[in-house]
Amino acid sequence: DEVLQHLVGLTMRHGKKSQAQSRIQETLNLLRKRAAVAGQDPLRLMKEAIERVSPLMKLIQRKQGSKNIPVPIPLTQKGSRRRAVTWVLESAAKRTSKSFAERFAQELGAVLDGTSSAFQKQLAVHKLALASRANAAIK
């Protein structure tokens, strides 16, 4: 699955792909326990959580004269997913659980419940993009 491969790539450290795969597998097992109550597929839950936090736009700084002007640019699906996963991983790193899988599963659960701090990052990006939409024509 493309999303799963992307997730493994983003969680991989020092080129150790098998460790990243086992961490994601552990996370899916923990999500499966949560999903058993709802009767849903853990992979679908993970994809839904990532989709909820995915931003639509990114802001880049363009120079106009002596000013730096924020210009909103639409993200591709892959870029959007990458930002969402990094935000969720950053939020998960702040949790107190010992294992990565537990922290990541808890954070994905928080995203599904709507209580994750990743939502604030998404909201901030969208707010800034909306505020600077007049600059969208600047090349």
CA 106, CA 18: separation in Å to the nearest integer?
22
CA 86, CA 104: separation in Å to the nearest integer?
11
Give the confidence band of 38 by pLDDT, cuts at 50, 70, 90: low
Structural domain of 80: 2-137
Inform me whether the pLDDT recorded for 2 exceeds 80: yes
Give the pLDDT confidence of 42-61 residue by residue, as tens digits.
Answer: 888 899 999 999 999 999 99
**pLDDT for the residue numbered 76:** 95
pTM for the structure as a whole = 0.88
What string of DSSP letters covers 33-60?
HHHHHHT--HHHHHHHHHHHH--SEEEE
Give the pLDDT confidence of 62-99 residue by residue, as tens digits.
Answer: 998 899 999 999 999 999 999 999 999 999 999 888 89
- Per-residue tokens: 119: 């939502």
> Residue 83 maps to which CATH number?
1.10.455.10
Contact predicate 91/118, CB 8 Å:
yes
Residue of 93 and 138 predicted with greater confidence = 93
Give the confidence band of 35 by pLDDT, cuts at 50, 70, 90: low
What is the 8-class DSSP label of residue 134? G
**pLDDT for the residue numbered 41:** 85
Residue of 82, 62, 63 whose CA lies nearest to 8? 82
Give the pLDDT confidence of 91-131 residue by residue, as tens digits.
Answer: 999 988 889 999 999 999 899 888 889 989 999 999 999 99
CA 12, CA 10: separation in Å to the nearest integer?
6
* Number of domains the chain is built from: 1
